[in-house]
Amino acid sequence: MNHDDLRDWSKRAADWAHGYHAGLRDRPVRAALVPGAIAAQLPPTPPEQPEPMETIFADFERIIPDGMTHWQHPRFFAYFPANASPASMLAEQLANAIAAQGMLWQTSPAATEVEQVMVRWLAQGLGLPETFTGTIHDSATTATLSAVLTLREAALGWAGLQAGLSGQPRLRIYASAETHSSVDKAVRIAGIGQENLVKVPTDGRLSMKPGALAGAIAADRAAGFLPAGVVLCAGGTSVGAFDRIADCIAVARANDLPVHVDAAWAGSAMICPEFRALWLGIEGADSIVFNPHKWLGAQFDCAVQFLADPAPQIRTLGLRPTYLETAGREEITNFNEWTVPLGRRFRALKLWFTLRAYGMDGLRGRIRNHVAWALDARDALAAINGVEIVTEPSLSLFTFALETDAATEALLARINDDGRIYLTQTRHQGRYVIRVQVGQFDCTRDDVMMIPQVVAELM
Ligand SMILES: *Cc1c(COP(=O)(O)O)cnc(C)c1O
């Protein structure tokens, strides 16, 4: 295969993609397969001789689509969305065609500069102060790891990077039980340890209790531990919990602790001013992550981290061996120093295309529809005999259950075997509940109202 073939096959792929997307509503959302079914269709050894693209493409069409769960299906209401707007897909094709590495400014000046401008556009779009800068990571997990590593090193006066952690005081990080498991993962792999992630109790609204946070920090100091920072939750993955950001940041400030806010899902909604009360006080955060690859339409992978001051993170993650030096350009931004991996894809391009092709107003309209339709679906579900709404909508996420866990679990299995919609579960205060999130880029109200229809049929 050469570049002339690539041009022809790219056209074929574009036609295939168009048909695939047009036909999504006729497919079951979740792959209906037994484990091993796909692997069994592939030969056990790689080919010695080149194969014609006709054969490869025919096998792709025969094996792969039916082996996928369709994340762009308009009736995907599971987990959180992983939206890919058509404009984002086009930008990814172009980024793939150029296939550059954006580790240093000089390795791809446009990649660095478009990234800087997109971070600025998004800070404005979310109503953050212009003083925030930031960078794009692959995922919120990596952004939170970067933030936690920075909390660790700032607390240790940057001693850990050189000397390691043995002999250092025991560090403590504070978060609520509603934060995502990526926070647990970050403290584990940052060498802080799960036991030193203090899960501060929450109140009836599922916000971390600011008083309990202050108490935990004081108790830890008295015990000889070294508090390093606070991770707050703005839109938890389980049921959409929000910490009271302003009150918790005030406690952190009073204790001289930096704050990282995980808004991976809900951050996208903050392009709508009416939702910003949910993260009131956010301008006091040191670091904020949100995933345009969830709800905004710039497809995976695209996690934006805003930083009030990038210097501590660059001091933590940046390294300049001779082969990465950029003579005479030491002041330029080299984004690899802001993130864990050295190599970086040109992720800002899909943000540029998406924000322009739909406009902030078009994106706000989608998110407002999702929130409104989630309420409609909630009301219709609540009207079904035997269905109980367990957590009320947080933006476009709510949960419901039947009388017993066993009945709820059995209903969920019937829903997902049926295939018209896809929902997933969580456990809330010990109870097994079904999550509903509305957020597919091009879903319609009819798609959303299929949720109560299917539930009523399968009860
Ligand atoms: C999805 C999610 C994450 C993890 O996101 P990745 O980008 O997949 O790492 C973290 N926090 C919250 C609140 C999330 O919803």
The pLDDT tens digits for 88-123 are 999 999 999 999 999 999 899 999 999 999 999 999
Q: Is the pLDDT of residue 331 over 80?
A: no
Instruction: Please tell me the predicted confidence (pLDDT) of residue 215.
Output: 98
Instruction: Please tell me the predicted confidence (pLDDT) of residue 324.
Output: 75
Identify which of 291, 293, 304 to mutate to test ligand 1's pocket (most ligand atoms within 8 A of the CB). 291
Burial of 62 (0-12, 13-18, 19+ CB in 10 A): exposed
Q: Do the strands 171-176 and 259-262 form a parallel or antiparallel pair, or are they unpaired?
A: unpaired
Neighbouring-strand partners of residue 173: 197, 229
Burial 79-99, CB ≥16 within 10 A → b, else e = bbbbbbbbbbbbbbeebeeee
Q: Is the pLDDT of residue 417 over 90?
A: yes
Q: How far is residue 150's CA from residue 25's CA, in Å, rounded to a whole number?
A: 45
4-8: which pairs have CB atoms within 8 A and are 24 or more residues apart? 5/53
Cβ contacts of 447 within 8 Å, gap of 6 or more: 25, 74, 75, 440
Instruction: Please tell me the predicted confidence (pLDDT) of residue 330.
Output: 66
Which residue's CA is the nearest one to ligand 1's atom 1? 264
| pLDDT over 70 percentage in the chain | 99
pLDDT for 57-67, tens place per residue? 999 999 999 99
Identify which of 144, 187, 265 to mutate to test ligand 1's pocket (most ligand atoms within 8 A of the CB). 265
Beta carbons of 316 and 161 less than 8 angstroms apart: yes
| Average pLDDT, integer, range 29-42 | 93
Task: Locate 246 and state its tokens.
Answer: 């302003």
Query: 356 or 329: which carries more pLDDT confidence?
Result: 356
Specify whether the backbone of 202 is left (phi greater than 0), alpha (psi in -120 to 50) or beta.
Answer: beta
pLDDT for 236-267, tens place per residue? 999 999 999 999 999 999 999 999 999 999 99
Atom of ligand 1 nearest to the CA of 180: 11
Instruction: Please tell me the predicted confidence (pLDDT) of residue 329.
Output: 66
Q: Where are the chain's structural domains?
A: 93-353
Interval between CA 290 and ligand 1 midpoint (Å):
8
Maximum alpha-carbon separation in the chain: 71
Which residue's CA is the nearest one to ligand 1's atom 5? 140
Q: How far is residue 31's CA from residue 76's CA, in Å, rounded to a whole number?
A: 12
Which residue's CA is the nearest one to ligand 1's atom 12? 264
pLDDT for 110-166, tens place per residue? 999 999 999 999 999 999 999 999 999 999 999 999 999 999 999 999 999 999 999
Residue ranges around ligand 1 (CB below 6 Å): 80, 139-141, 180, 182, 235-237, 262, 264-265, 291, 303
Q: Which of 170, 150, 175 is nearest to 338 (CA)?
A: 150
Interval between CA 397 and ligand 1 midpoint (Å):
15
Which residue's CA is the nearest one to ligand 1's atom 2? 264
Q: Could you say which architecture CATH assigns to the domain 93-353?
A: 3-Layer(aba) Sandwich (3.40)
Grade residue 327 by pLDDT with cuts at 50, 70 and 90.
low
| Average pLDDT, integer, range 370-383 | 98
Q: Do the strands 303-307 and 388-394 form a parallel or antiparallel pair, or are they unpaired?
A: unpaired
Straight-line distance from the first to the last Cα atom of the chain, in angstroms, rounded to the nearest whole number: 53
Q: How far is residue 296's CA from residue 121's CA, in Å, rounded to a whole number?
A: 13
Beta carbons of 239 and 391 less than 8 angstroms apart: yes
- Residue matched to tokens 């897909």: 89
pLDDT for 181-190, tens place per residue? 999 999 999 9
Atom of ligand 1 nearest to the CA of 234: 13
Interval between CA 11 and ligand 1 midpoint (Å):
34
Query: 326 or 377: which carries more pLDDT confidence?
Result: 377
Rg (CA), the chain: 23
Atom of ligand 1 nearest to the CA of 142: 9
Q: What are phi and psi of 304, to 5 degrees?
A: -95, 130
Burial of 215 (0-12, 13-18, 19+ CB in 10 A): middle
Interval between CA 137 and ligand 1 midpoint (Å):
12
Beta carbons of 440 and 71 less than 8 angstroms apart: no
Burial 314-339, CB ≥16 within 10 A → b, else e = bebbeeeeeeeeeeeeeeebbbbbbb
Identify which of 71, 182, 262, 339 to mutate to test ligand 1's pocket (most ligand atoms within 8 A of the CB). 182
| Average pLDDT, integer, range 206-229 | 98
Instruction: Please tell me the predicted confidence (pLDDT) of residue 315.
Output: 94
pLDDT for 267-315, tens place per residue? 999 999 999 999 999 999 999 999 999 999 999 999 999 999 999 999 9
Mean pLDDT, the chain, as a whole number?
A: 96
Instruction: Please tell me the predicted confidence (pLDDT) of residue 328.
Output: 65
Task: Locate 39 and state its tokens.
Answer: 């692997």
Task: Locate 66 and state its tokens.
Answer: 């039916």
Task: Locate 274 and state its tokens.
Answer: 């009416």
Instruction: Please tell me the predicted confidence (pLDDT) of residue 332.
Output: 87
Residue 459 Cα to chain centre, angstroms:
32
Atom of ligand 1 nearest to the CA of 139: 7
Q: Is the pLDDT of residue 1 over 70?
A: yes
Which residue's CA is the nearest one to ligand 1's atom 8? 139
Beta carbons of 294 and 81 less than 8 angstroms apart: yes
Q: Put the strands of the sheet holding 388-394 in their side by side order.
A: 388-394, 397-401, 431-437, 424-428
